[in-house]
Structure 1
Amino acid sequence: SLWKLLALIVGLVVTFHAASCGYFFCVKFPGLLELPGNMYDDISDIYYLSGGPRVIPSYKHPTSQRNHDPKLIPQIIHQTYKSSQVPNSVRPMMQSWRQANPNWEIRFYDDEACLEFVQHEFPEYLDAYRNLPKHVERSDFFRYMVVLRMGGLYADVDTECRRPMDEIIKPRDTLLVGWENEFATPEIAAHRNYARTRQVLQWVFAAAPGHPALREICDHIAQNVYTQFSQNTNRDTLERTGPGVFTDYVLKHAAMHPPSKRDDPWTVRLLPKVHFGVHPVGLDGIEPDAPGITVLHHYLGTWKVRGGWSRNRIDLYRLWRKAKSYMAPESSKPQKVVDKPSWHAPHQTGLFPVSIEWEPPFTMLVDLIGHGDHQAGSDVSASLTAWGSWQPALAPTRGPTVLDALIGSLGSRGSNRVLLDIGAGQGLFSLAAAARGHRAIAFELSANSLASMEASIAFNGFQDLLTLHKAALGSQDEEICVERGGPPKAPVFGGANPASVPSLIKHQVDLARGYSHPQLHNMSAKVSLDALEALAEHEPLPLANCTRTARRFKGNQFVLNETKVAAIRISANGWEASILHGLQDVITQSPPSVILMELTPSQMQVVGMANAATLLQQLYDLGYTDISHSGYVCDERWYNLTRSIRLRGLGFAGQDSLRQPTWCTLPPDKFHALSARTSQQQRPENILLIYKAAAKAKQSLLSQGTPTPSTTSSSGVPLVGPNVTVSVCNVPATGRTC
């Protein structure tokens, strides 16, 4: 019985250990003489796991100072309601504006005060104002007029202010608006009762007095009082006074007054959806308690007619309006009836401006949702539109962000230290560096991403700071194939007809960027686009010719002798070792302070490049001894460590106040564990390597099996250079032999 009892105790210990282990960094079972605290060899990591990247941001602009900088938009809040008897349901929301903005003047207007204001300030618009058929249309017209004349901010009474507007409005802002929503097709937008596939909201906006965009909107309304835009009464209002026409003229003036015109006072800044456009029940991906919300619209005063069509009262009113129009002068009679926007801004080329959440802010021109390139499994344009930020494998707002960690390493402004941005995509990292006055050298091949990045560079006036090379990088110079089976259909954007244009599949994007399977890039190979998915599954390849080529270069030649590379970012879908090999002179002779890699070991195996653990060890030996990682694996480490502590009852000071880190430290003894775990994931892990002067003796990146032909790493993974033709049977995990 004693032996049975002992066996039962041992069984319980083993079972309890297994139950509390998790999947990652779970090590050996304890021996008979080991204490329970030794069950995890990295349990001590809990004390420094959340140390994160030790990079001090170089840009310092205290919030208190920024909030008191003189601004062109006056501190006035305008609100309206039909009478002074405001419903109790909206009083707390109106009070939120006063609480969040104690130094602002709040002006309230009922219908009588609105009419008096128009009579006194805009007599030229008085007849148009009186003859608008709906109260909501007069409300729309008034908000444009009052901000045009007085400046300040307009807010519907059913909006809740959650952040001080002084934190949002910048000194140079003269028109500040927010994106409401976007849709992949006009049909989806129409089904949701939106006038545009990508629409600007007008329940809150701010402007300096006299902004020409507001003047044009007012002129449009005055000229179209008797124009019937649609048989649908809701759509009719959207086009006459509402978000439809507001969107058109805002985008028109955003194109006319870009930030690159430094002396142009009439700026237009379009905030991401999270600021003003979040739905109170969490529609479209942003919850009402999400971080970063500035204004929440509660939709308590909805004006739209149920079903979109006039009911009896509205029908009678329209009959009266029609009869009245026959008594009006000839020039005022209805000119047209259309079931589409009456005017399309000629500047709408398919790229839309979004202000990025960065200090100082800058604007990116992004694609419509579902039409831009994906990176790290996400639609970058959609993330930027919704949140004003994006980062691979992490929530956009989770900080310290990858962007903060990388750009913070560049030092002071004008220090002649540059960022190498390899696989730049739409250019978020390079543009953020340029916004702070740093130089950046970016490399990208995808036509979609290039169009966005080139437009953003010109829009912000960053041509002197940002150099964009239409090239891929690798270990040697060569011509590569980047398109097979014919070019994809060119998307038509800007409200024209995007319905039939799907996003490129991942393999097409990887091929276009220059970082797909080596066999696809090989000029002598014949592979069709239809074979891309099969290639990912290691199936035989059909034949087709290459239809577009590009160049791959060694990175060394792009860095001038007088240039100090401060940071390198690599987003290359498994080609990291090859790219670093081509940058060998840069890294060994004048090591950059920081290297950031979006590392996906599973893709490294498919491509046939160095094992991730081996690559990390090589960089560690070169002096990059301070390493952090961020993403799924970091989260899993934290979960498993804290789960073990909770289940075992192991306590320590401050346990209750533990917060999940964004970044985890990565010591050398965890390289293989991370490589093994991420090899099972398709999403990347962000690896941040910081150079330390007290490092081991430098070695050539050619040592220990980096990507050169016919070389094998210590882990046995074939390391193949990008100029070598790779047969599918040589790809790890295929199980085939040549």
Structure 2
Amino acid sequence: MLLPRHFRRLVAVAVLVTIFVNWRLLRHTHGPAVADARAQYPLIAKYIEGGKGSGGAWHLPQTWTDASNTPLIDIVTAAQLALNRSSTDPSGHLPHSNIPRIIHQTWKDTRFETWRPKYQASVEKWLRVVEEEDIPYLFWDDAGVAQFMRVFEPELEAEFYGLPSPVERSDVFRVLVCKWIGGVYVDMDTEPLQSPTSWITPTDLIPWTDFKTSKLYHSTKPVNAIVGIEADTNPDTDTYWRMGYFFPIQLTQWAFAFAPHHPALQLFIDRLRETIRLVARDQQTLPESEQQRGTGLDWIDPVNLTGPIAFTDSVRTYLDTKADLRWNALTGLHDDGKSKLVEDVLVLPITGFSPGSARFRSMGSKSVTDSSARLYHHAEGSWRHWSLRVEMGKFCRTAFGKCRDWSKVSNRESWIF
């Protein structure tokens, strides 16, 4: 039996409205249509969509490619050429450093019309810097990461792909690409406030003194690493863990720069492999029914396994060994946020990689227009998923100073509710 005509019309209108709303939502979520995206982001269309070869996209100075006898058929070949030429080119390093003048970014694919609008806008700004200064640029997609692992880290490949989620693999890859190729790594949701060629100034290299011990740090070594502070809190209070941090002074991982084969990067990999080994050992002692529930790594928060905690711990261990550094001396709360060179590592104040956000103002972060601000982080958090348990833990820590060890990410249920 047919429905009444007026009812059929209502159903048809409802279907059309639903289709239109979903189309608008999809367009908003994934950015403009292809034609619009090309017009709005011409540099992405030129360098990323228009890139030739497998594994991602790249831009290298024309003089480098003209002088090369090797066809650039994939991103690993392009990366190897960039590494070789940066070591011989007089302008191949960032000023005052041994850090190759190369920028790395990574995402699962190069279909930029499907990226988040913030990613599109931010990558376009990075490419503007790349084009204006003719800076080598490597954009690694998932296929390029796989190529990289087969060539540079075959012994780590199984462990790499055994990590629980893409976010952990992304964390590890950025470390590995800087270990083998070197250069500047920046997340997709960062945008440049200064070109990386301006990140190190003579002022950043002046001696400084630990305000508590009066120990003088006066390194004359070239900079081999640039890292930035994300959390800068008073270690004598519980502020840092109430805010969800593990260390009172904690480093960000959305941007950093390294010379190839820096020991701090190997410490990160060693720490990860030891964690994997210990978890596998403990997993074998569980009943067979529980062993099948997961790898064991699922119970470790990504921030601890491969994220900022792991990265901070690796740099902290390196500087403790090399310079006997009191880690909390890196705070900028006592000197209005000055950069600090320790051995060959330049530690930027919180404004360096975390300016302009209300979350960081109480920790000394200044405006994006401040001269110490290198880049801005939009904190898109594509890997995070909303979780009632996580939000309750956050409220419990902030409001009551409890629940310190509750999981801070939704895909890790390492506590029982």
Rounded Cα–Cα distance in structure 2 between residues aligned with 1:219 and 1:308: 34
Checking the alignment, whether the CA contact within 8 Å between 2:231 and 2:240 is kept in structure 1 is no
The equivalent position to 1:143 in structure 2, one of 155, 174, 180, is: 174
Q: Deviation per CA, 1:410-465, whole angstroms, max 9, x where unpaired?
A: xxxxxxxxxxxxxxxxxxxxxxxxxxxxxxxxxxxxxxxxxxxxxxxxxxxxxxxx
Q: 1:120 to 1:191 in 2, by over 3 A?
A: same
Partner of 1:176: 226
Unaligned runs of 5+ in 1: 1-64, 312-337, 341-738
Structure number with the bigger relative contact order (C-alpha 8 A, sep ≥ 6) is 2
Partner of 1:75: 101
Rounded Cα–Cα distance in structure 2 between residues aligned with 1:134 and 1:256: 32
Rounded Cα–Cα distance in structure 2 between residues aligned with 1:69 and 1:173: 9
Residue 140 (structure 1) shift:
0.3
Residue 68 (structure 1) shift:
7.8
**Pairing of 1:47-62 with structure 2 (within 5 A):** none
Residue 116 (structure 1) shift:
1.7
Letter in 2 for 1:105: P
The equivalent position to 1:222 in structure 2, one of 273, 278, 283, is: 273
Checking the alignment, whether the CA contact within 8 Å between 2:193 and 2:368 is kept in structure 1 is no
Tell me the SS of whatever aligns to 1:184: coil
Residue 189 (structure 1) shift:
2.6
Considering only CA atoms, is the larger Rg found in Structure 1 or Structure 2?
A: 1
Partner of 1:107: 138
Letter in 2 for 1:225: I
**Do residues 298 (structure 1) and 378 (structure 2) align?**
yes
Partner of 1:617: none
Residue 279 (structure 1) shift:
5.3
Rounded Cα–Cα distance in structure 2 between residues aligned with 1:156 and 1:294: 13
Rounded Cα–Cα distance in structure 2 between residues aligned with 1:224 and 1:119: 22
Tell me the SS of whatever aligns to 1:306: coil
Tell me the SS of whatever aligns to 2:276: coil
Checking the alignment, whether the CA contact within 8 Å between 1:181 and 1:277 is kept in structure 2 is no
Letter in 2 for 1:76: I
Residue 175 (structure 1) shift:
1.1
Residue 301 (structure 1) shift:
3.3
Partner of 2:253: 202
Q: 1:189 to 1:248 in 2, by over 3 A?
A: same
Tell me the SS of whatever aligns to 2:156: helix
Partner of 2:156: 125
The aligned length equals 245
Checking the alignment, whether the CA contact within 8 Å between 1:175 and 1:266 is kept in structure 2 is no
Q: Deviation per CA, 1:576-635, whole angstroms, max 9, x where unpaired?
A: xxxxxxxxxxxxxxxxxxxxxxxxxxxxxxxxxxxxxxxxxxxxxxxxxxxxxxxxxxxx
Rounded Cα–Cα distance in structure 1 between residues aligned with 2:243 and 2:95: 40
Note the aligned Cα RMSD (angstroms). Answer: 3.6
**Do residues 240 (structure 1) and 271 (structure 2) align?**
no
Checking the alignment, whether the CA contact within 8 Å between 2:228 and 2:353 is kept in structure 1 is yes
Rounded Cα–Cα distance in structure 1 between residues aligned with 2:154 and 2:305: 20
Residue 98 (structure 1) shift:
2.9
Rounded Cα–Cα distance in structure 1 between residues aligned with 2:343 and 2:185: 18
Partner of 1:289: 368
Tell me the SS of whatever aligns to 1:304: coil
Q: 1:209 to 1:259 in 2, by over 3 A?
A: farther
Checking the alignment, whether the CA contact within 8 Å between 2:191 and 2:375 is kept in structure 1 is yes
Residue identity (%) = 27
Rounded Cα–Cα distance in structure 1 between residues aligned with 2:257 and 2:383: 22
Task: Give the structure-2-normalised TM-score.
Answer: 0.52
Letter in 1 for 2:303: L
**Do residues 213 (structure 1) and 264 (structure 2) align?**
yes
Residue 71 (structure 1) shift:
3.4
Q: 1:259 to 1:235 in 2, by over 3 A?
A: closer
Q: 1:281 to 1:215 in 2, by over 3 A?
A: same
Partner of 2:44: none
Tell me the SS of whatever aligns to 1:190: helix
Rounded Cα–Cα distance in structure 2 between residues aligned with 1:295 and 1:112: 28
Rounded Cα–Cα distance in structure 2 between residues aligned with 1:204 and 1:249: 15
Rounded Cα–Cα distance in structure 1 between residues aligned with 2:368 and 2:94: 28
**Pairing of 1:471-482 with structure 2 (within 5 A):** none
Checking the alignment, whether the CA contact within 8 Å between 1:77 and 1:153 is kept in structure 2 is yes
Tell me the SS of whatever aligns to 2:301: helix
Rounded Cα–Cα distance in structure 2 between residues aligned with 1:144 and 1:133: 17
Q: Deviation per CA, 1:544-580, whole angstroms, max 9, x where unpaired?
A: xxxxxxxxxxxxxxxxxxxxxxxxxxxxxxxxxxxxx
**Pairing of 1:639-678 with structure 2 (within 5 A):** none
Rounded Cα–Cα distance in structure 2 between residues aligned with 1:91 and 1:139: 19
Rounded Cα–Cα distance in structure 2 between residues aligned with 1:274 and 1:224: 32
Letter in 2 for 1:73: I
**Do residues 84 (structure 1) and 110 (structure 2) align?**
yes
**Do residues 97 (structure 1) and 147 (structure 2) align?**
no
**Do residues 251 (structure 1) and 316 (structure 2) align?**
yes
Rounded Cα–Cα distance in structure 2 between residues aligned with 1:259 and 1:167: 29
Letter in 2 for 1:133: P
**Pairing of 1:227-626 with structure 2 (within 5 A):** 236-258=301-323, 267-278=344-355, 280-281=357-358, 283-285=360-362, 286=365, 288-292=367-371, 293-307=373-387, 339=405
Checking the alignment, whether the CA contact within 8 Å between 1:257 and 1:267 is kept in structure 2 is no
Moved more, 103-112 or 187-196: 187-196
Letter in 2 for 1:291: D
Residue 182 (structure 1) shift:
2.3
Letter in 2 for 1:295: L
Tell me the SS of whatever aligns to 1:257: helix
Residue 128 (structure 1) shift:
1.1
Rounded Cα–Cα distance in structure 1 between residues aligned with 2:263 and 2:154: 18
Q: 1:188 to 1:271 in 2, by over 3 A?
A: same
Residue 307 (structure 1) shift:
4.1
Tell me the SS of whatever aligns to 2:351: helix
Tell me the SS of whatever aligns to 1:202: coil
Tell me the SS of whatever aligns to 1:89: helix
Partner of 2:192: 161
Q: 1:169 to 1:259 in 2, by over 3 A?
A: farther
Checking the alignment, whether the CA contact within 8 Å between 1:179 and 1:201 is kept in structure 2 is yes
Q: Which has a greater percent of helix?
A: 2
Task: Give the structure-1-normalised TM-score.
Answer: 0.30
Tell me the SS of whatever aligns to 1:113: helix
Partner of 1:664: none
Residue 192 (structure 1) shift:
2.3
Q: 1:70 to 1:243 in 2, by over 3 A?
A: closer
Tell me the SS of whatever aligns to 1:176: strand
Rounded Cα–Cα distance in structure 1 between residues aligned with 2:94 and 2:178: 22
Q: 1:234 to 1:274 in 2, by over 3 A?
A: farther
Letter in 2 for 1:100: V
Rounded Cα–Cα distance in structure 2 between residues aligned with 1:295 and 1:258: 28
Rounded Cα–Cα distance in structure 2 between residues aligned with 1:188 and 1:302: 26
Checking the alignment, whether the CA contact within 8 Å between 1:93 and 1:157 is kept in structure 2 is yes
Rounded Cα–Cα distance in structure 2 between residues aligned with 1:181 and 1:232: 26
